[in-house]
Amino acid sequence: MELRRILSDEKLRTDIIKQLYRTDHQDLHDFKTDEIEKYINNWQESVGTEEFPTDLENIIKLVGRPVLEIRHNTFVPPLAEEWHKKLSYNRVNIENAIPAVGRIELREHPRFEWLGTGWLVAKNILVTNRHIAEIFAKKEGSKYNFKYNFNGKQIQARIDFREEYQVPDQVEFSIDKVLYIEEPDNGENIRPDLAFLQISLDSNSNTQLPEPIELSEEKLSSDRDVVVIGYPAKDSRVGDLKEMERIFGSIYDVKRMAPGVAYPSSDKEWLINHDCSTLGGNSGSVVLDIETGKAVGIHYGGRYLDKNYAVSSTEIIKILNSIK
């Protein structure tokens, strides 16, 4: 459970207690000072039981796994001192990656105006999730083609590398080719949720493409501080809508950043886990190691109040090399 991972960090525990005492946070909870310390200091015995209050759990995640605004390719730092220190120290690494993350948008689709997140892994090559690419493209023979809508018009895809909160600018490029979509899962044989798209270099001659995000060539072997950068969308599937509104600040469909921890998974060779705060539109988000500035994976889904799933960077590299 992600709450245990948060509270196992002693510095973050101290920071959470400090933040819960702030006068501007008092309206978020009804706990007395001694109650807060009791629950947090005894977290090993009480987390996961009925004794640990749900309201306090929500506030801990608000401080321990915040979701931050991104404006003009930089981020608004969190109030929590520990994350403020870590993110500020690695600001250059994070800011180098932010411009390369964009929102995948559609024209001529009967239902969707945008789908999720993609990011540059090579000069004009995007990586995203299979379940995103399948909505507008399909394999026909040895090639991948864009689908048609019910009026016979071909669906068009593009990526906007901006779409930031209260920033009206757009940095759009057309997606002119689908390079690869991973085969669908076959029974219990779960495959990496990956797709690669090619950007048209002629679609925005006045704007230079951002630099790609470097992929980590090392298999994740220990916990790493990361940020997930993507486009969370309001999600009615979340059980506690009040908690979602609180953590995401009722700001959706724009580029956001969420810090947390990525850690190895024993389920699949290509799988890693992380506990950053995400929603549906985060599909395809980069999972970025803040100390190296390299991507360790691509987010594709999660289990509410448990953990999130990402395809490892080593798997991304393997498939990318096979299609170049």
Distance set, CA 172 to CA 4, 111, 184, 268 (Å): 41, 21, 29, 35
d(CA 163, CA 172): 10
- Domain 101-199 coded CATH 2.40.50.140: no
Q: What is the pLDDT of residue 150?
A: 93
Q: What is the pLDDT of residue 237?
A: 62
Q: What is the pLDDT of residue 22?
A: 64
Q: Where are the alpha helices (DSSP H) in 136-250?
A: 241-248
* pLDDT under 50: residue ranges of the chain: 23
Taking the mean position of all CA atoms in its chain, how far away is CA 317? Answer: 19
Using only C-alpha atoms, the chain has a radius of gyration, in whole angstroms, of 20
d(CA 63, CA 118): 27
Q: What is the pLDDT of residue 31?
A: 62
Domain ranges of the chain: 1-62, 101-199
d(CA 116, CA 133): 10
Q: What is the pLDDT of residue 134?
A: 96
Coil vs helix vs strand at 239: coil
d(CA 252, CA 254): 6
Strands annotated E in the chain: 68-71, 74-75, 101-107, 114-122, 125-128, 137-140, 143-146, 156-160, 172-181, 195-199, 224-230, 256-264, 271-274, 286-289, 295-303, 307-312
Q: What is the pLDDT of residue 126?
A: 98
